[in-house]
Amino acid sequence: MQAKSEKSNQSAPLIVAGIFLGIGLGGFFDGIVLHQILQWHHMLSNIRPLTTMSNIDMNTIWDGLFHAFDWIMTVIGVVLLWRAGGREDVPWSSNIYFGSILTGAGLFNLVEGVIDHHILGIHHVKPGPNQLAWDLGFLALGAFLVIVGLVLVQKNGKNYEL
């Protein structure tokens, strides 16, 4: 029997794949739901308001670059998942896989929220009244996803025999 720490290390390829997939999928959710469907904001909408065609064009380009980043993260995640799937030493676990995806999505929210909403101020989740509350809620959701994801990943470790 292998020790818990050895099995945890063998889970690393699945965890890394899940985190990359979570970052990509979290970004796609943000871009599709908040940017396109709800139209609450666009990448540069706080510094280039959608009041002129030039600003609309600039925001559309930056939204496209944002989606390109999401796509790259997702492709990396799929490639890493494929490679992990080819390894016999990687234990397959729904808890590890989905926990890692939730962790990645939460990390996306935290990093994107801190950088774009608070440091750079290039956009807010929902501009206008209560925009700080929306931005903080976005960060809280990210932290929640990371915590739930890590709990799921750790939960799987308890099933290992020493």
Residue 126 lies in a domain: yes
Q: How many CB atoms lie within 10 A of CB 76?
A: 17
Q: What is the mean pLDDT of the chain?
A: 91
Residue 162 lies in a domain: no
Tens-place pLDDT, residues 42-57 = 999 999 999 999 999 9
pLDDT at 110 over 50: yes
Structure confidence at residue 157 (pLDDT):
57
Estimate the crossing angle of helix 131-157 against helix 12-29, to 10 degrees: 160
Q: pTM score > 0.75 for this model?
A: yes
Tell me which of 6 and 43 has the higher pLDDT: 43
Residue 151 lies in a domain: yes
Q: For residue 60, with 0-12 CB atoms within 10 Å meaning exposed, 13-18 middle and 19 or more buried, which class applies?
A: middle
Q: Assess contact for 28 and 109: CB atoms under 8 A.
A: no
Place of tokens 């990687």: 90
What is the extent of the structural domain holding 136?
4-157
Structure confidence at residue 156 (pLDDT):
73
Number of domains in the chain: 1
Structure confidence at residue 86 (pLDDT):
93
Residue 84 lies in a domain: yes
- Report the pLDDT averaged over residues 113-133: 96
Among 22-36, 50-64, 105-119, 144-158, the range scoring the smallest mean pLDDT is: 144-158
Q: Assess contact for 40 and 135: CB atoms under 8 A.
A: no
Residue 144 lies in a domain: yes
Tens-place pLDDT, residues 49-84 = 999 999 999 999 999 999 999 999 999 999 999 999
Among 1-10, 90-99, 144-153, the range scoring the smallest mean pLDDT is: 1-10
